[in-house]
Structure 1
Amino acid sequence: MMSSEGGKPKKAIALKYEPTKEEAPRVIAKGKGHFAEDILEAAKKNNVHIQEDPALIELLSTLEIHQQIPEELYEAVAEIFAFIYKLDKSL
C-alpha cells in the first residue's frame, strides 16, 4: 500500500498474510520518503499489487514490523486483499 499527499513524503506499508499460519495479515515493511520508494520498487519488481489508501496507511504506520493488524482493521484490509485476489484471477 502507498500514500502520497501533497507535499508530504510518500509512505508505504507492506503486508503479508499466510492464512494457514496466521490469524491476520502482518506488517513486513514500512517506510516513508526514500524507504517508501524502495518498498514500492521491490513490490513492482516482484509483481506485487500496490493499493493507494492514505487513511489506511496512517493507521497501519502506527504498527511495528511483524505486528499483526488489529481486529478493528480486519474489514478494511480484507477489502484490499479481496480486490487483489480478483485482480490476480483476471490475469
Structure 2
Amino acid sequence: MKKNRPNIPEKKAASLQYDGSGAPIVSAAGSGEVAEQIIAIARQHEIPLFENEALLELLVNIGVGEEIPESLYLCIAQVIAFAYKIQGKFPEGWEPPTDPSQSDMLVTRLTAD
C-alpha cells in the first residue's frame, strides 16, 4: 500500500530519443514508480539527467512516441547540446574554442542553425 505524503510532490520523469534527424521523440514519461524506473535506467546507461520542472511538465503531456513540437526545438536543442558537451561529444569536425571566454557560447553555436 502506498503511503500518502502530502508535502512531497510525486516524482516525474521523461526521456527523449534523438537520432540526429527529424525531431526528438518522447521515448518514455511517467510519474511515481515509472519515473523512478526511467531515472534508474538513465543512470545505469550513463545518460545525463537534466532537471527543469516546467520543461518536464510539457514533455510528459506530449505523449510517448510523439515528436516534440516545433515550439520546443530550441529549448531541447540546448539540452541536447549540453548533454553532448558534458559527455565530451561534439559534431564531426568541430573544434572546441581555445579561448576560455568563448566556452559559454558552445550551446549557441550548436543550436544557432
- TM-score, normalising length: structure 2: 0.70
Q: RMSD of the alignment, in Å?
A: 1.3
1:27 partnered with 2:26 = yes
Give runs of ≥4 in structure 1 deviating > 2 Å: none
Bigger Rg, structure 1 or 2: 2
Residue 59 of structure 1 is matched in structure 2 by 58
Letter in 2 for 1:10: K
CA deviation after TM superposition for structure 1 residue 61, in Å: 1.0
Whole-angstrom distance in 1 between the partners of 2:76 and 2:66:
14
Whole-angstrom distance in 1 between the partners of 2:75 and 2:47:
19
How many pairs were matched up? 83
Residue 49 of structure 2 is matched in structure 1 by 50
CA deviation after TM superposition for structure 1 residue 44, in Å: 0.5
5+ residue gaps, structure 1, are: 1-5
Whole-angstrom distance in 2 between the partners of 1:46 and 1:86:
17
Task: Provide the identity percentage.
Answer: 37
Whole-angstrom distance in 2 between the partners of 1:45 and 1:70:
28
- TM-score, normalising length: structure 1: 0.86
Letter in 2 for 1:29: A
Q: Secondary structure at the match of 1:23?
A: coil
Whole-angstrom distance in 1 between the partners of 2:77 and 2:9:
27
Whole-angstrom distance in 1 between the partners of 2:84 and 2:68:
19
Residues 43-83 of structure 1, C-alpha deviation per residue, up to 9 Å, x if partnerless? 00111110001000011111111100000001111110010
Residue 11 of structure 1 is matched in structure 2 by 12
